Amino acid sequence: MRAPRWILIPLFLAVCTAGGYLLVRSAKPQSAPKKAASTPEPMVYHDSEAPAFRSGDRKEARPKGDVEALSKGALAGQRSVTFKDRASMEAFLEKIKGKGIAVMGRLDAINTLRLGFLSADELASVLDGSEKTGFIFPVMVPGLPEGSIQPGAVPLGNRLAEWLGIAGYDRSTWGKGLNVAVLDTGISTMASFFGKVNQSALVDFSADASGLNGHGTAVASIINGIAPEANILSYRIADDNGMSNSGLIAEGILKAVADGASVINISLGGFGDSLVLRQAVEYAQQHGVAIVAATGNNGIDQIAQPASISGVIGVGAVDANGDHLLFSNTGKQISSVAPGYGVAAEGVDGSVIYFSGTSASAPIETGALLAAMSNSVLSGNLSSGDASALLTSLLDESGAPGFDTQYGNGAVDLGRVMISGTRNLTDAAMASQWVTTNENGQQILQITVQNRGTNTLTNVPVMVNTPDGTASFNVGSLGPTAIQTFEVPIRVTDSAMTFQSSIGNAGGQKDINTANNSRRDVYTPASAQ
C-alpha cells in the first residue's frame, strides 16, 4: 500500500478508519523521479485553519427566525433563489423593492439571485412557490490540522517536474492559447507571473496589500510552473482570512465560463450541499469547462464540495513517495491524487515557499490538464473532456487494486501522457503493496503490477519477500495501462513488517524506467502504533 491507514485522532477531527490498512513506504525512495531526500524541511505555507461550522462560532449577524439555516450549518439570512426564467426573476426584483431583502449577487446565466434578508417570513411572503431555494454555506481555504502529517512523510520540494515525469521536456509552450481560472484569495501583484494574470474581485481587496492571503498566489504559481503559457483568470472569492461561501464560488464559476476559461481550479471547499454551487458546476460542464477541486484537509471520510459534485475532478494529497497523507479527505468522489506536502510554490513577495495541503494537489492536476490540452507532442489540441479522460486512463495505480477511496483512480503521471503516442515502449511497474483481509478472514498482502508502457508485457517474473518467506509469480500477458494483482497470505502480528517486491526482465524487452521495478513498504498494524 502506498498510503497508510493510521489510527490517529486529532482533537476535533475524526480520521476515517475504513479497512484497517497501514502500509507506509520507507523513507528511502525507490525511484529516481520520486526522490525527495534532499528536499529542505518545508516550513511552509500550510493551508490556513478551517472554521468550525457551529452556530455559536460565526461572527456575522444572524437574522431572527432563521433557525433552519443555522441548524444546517448554513449562513443565516442568506438564500439562493432560482427562477424558471429571466422574466420571473425580473418580476421578483420589482416585487422586493422597498422590502428588507437585498440582492447580494446575480447569477443571470442560471436565473438565480443570492439574497440577504432580515426575516425569513418576509422572504417567504414574496415567493410564489415556483422557485428553487437553497442555503448558502460558509467555505474556507481548507485547514491543515496540527499533527496530521504522519511521521516519515517526505516533502516534495522543487521536484515536481521529476515527480510528474516531465523533467526532460521543453514546457515553454504548454498552456498556450488556454485560459485557466483560479478561484481563490487573489494573486499578488509581485508574483513573477503576474503579467499573464487578469484579476477580478468578487470580494474586495484590503487597502493594505501587505496583508494579502498568499493562498491564491501559491496555487496559481504551481499551475504556471507546469503550463507557463496559459492565461490566468484570477477571481478573488475569499478574503484575507480565507473566508468565502458557496454563493461566491458559484458566481466565480459562472464568470470564469463567461470569460472563456477552459479549466477552473478551486482549492477550497465546504461541507454543506449547496444547490447554487451544484447548478453553477453543471452549467460549466454543459459548456465544456473542466473543474478541478481540492478534496479537503480534515482527515475525514467525506469529500468537500465542490470536489464531491459529480463530474468535478476531486484531487487528494500524497507525499513525495506517493503515500496517502493523513489530512487528505477520503471518499467515493475522489478522482486522483498528487503531491500535497512541502510543494515548492511562490509567495506573495515572489520568494519560494513550501506549500502543503490538498490545495497544492489540485493545481498540479490542473496544470497537467492544461499541458495535455495544448501539447504539441500529442496529436492536435484536446478538449478539456478528452484531456481529462486521457489523464485518467494513464494514472499510476496506487493503494488498493483499482479504485479506492484514498487514491481514487491513482496518481497523476504526465510523463505517461507524453509518451502515449509512441509505440513499443516497455515500462513494467511494481505499482503497490496493500494489506487487507480476504473473504475468509485471512490477512493478505496484495501485490499489484501495472503496465505503464505502450506495448504488451509478456512473461514478467515477480518476486515477493515477506517476513514469512519468498513467493514467486509470473505475469503472462498484460496490455498497456492494465494491472494484475497477486496475493500472499501474511500472519497477524503486533509488530511492524517489511515487504519487498520486484519485477524481473519483461521477456527480453528493454524497460524504459527500471526505477519503478521494485518497492519496499513497511506495514504497521494499529496495535503497534
Indicate which residues carry an active-site annotation. 184, 215, 359
Query: Are 276 and 108 spatial neighbours (Cβ–Cβ below 8 Å)?
Result: no
Sign of the torsion formed by the C-alpha atoms of 419, 420, 426 and 431: positive
CA dihedral (511, 512, 514, 519) in degrees, to 10, reads -100
Instruction: Indicate the length of the chain as a whole number.
Output: 529
Residues with Cβ within 8 Å of 292's Cβ and at least 6 positions away in sequence, in order, are 263, 264, 265, 266, 312, 313, 315, 362, 363, 365, 366, 369
Beta strand ranges found along 280-427 (DSSP E): 290-294, 313-318, 334-339, 343-346, 352-356
Structure-block grid coordinates of residue 368: 497537467
- Please give the biggest Cα pair distance in the chain: 82
Query: Are 460 and 511 spatial neighbours (Cβ–Cβ below 8 Å)?
Result: no
Q: Quick check: helix, strand or coil at residue 484?
A: strand
Query: Are 42 and 356 spatial neighbours (Cβ–Cβ below 8 Å)?
Result: yes
Interior CA angle at 297 toward 293 and 299, to 5°? 130
Residues with Cβ within 8 Å of 346's Cβ and at least 6 positions away in sequence, in order, are 191, 192, 193, 217, 218, 221, 352, 353
**CA-CA distance, 402 to 482, in Å (whole number)?**
10
Structure-block grid coordinates of residue 316: 487528494
Residues with Cβ within 8 Å of 491's Cβ and at least 6 positions away in sequence, in order, are 443, 467, 468
**CA-CA distance, 116 to 481, in Å (whole number)?**
51
Bridge partners, 140 (sequence order): 243, 269
Residues with Cβ within 8 Å of 136's Cβ and at least 6 positions away in sequence, in order, are 74, 75, 78, 79, 80, 114, 245, 246, 247, 274, 276
457-466/497-503 β-pairing = antiparallel
Amino acid at 22: L
Q: Quick check: helix, strand or coil at residue 330?
A: coil
**CA-CA distance, 16 to 5, in Å (whole number)?**
8
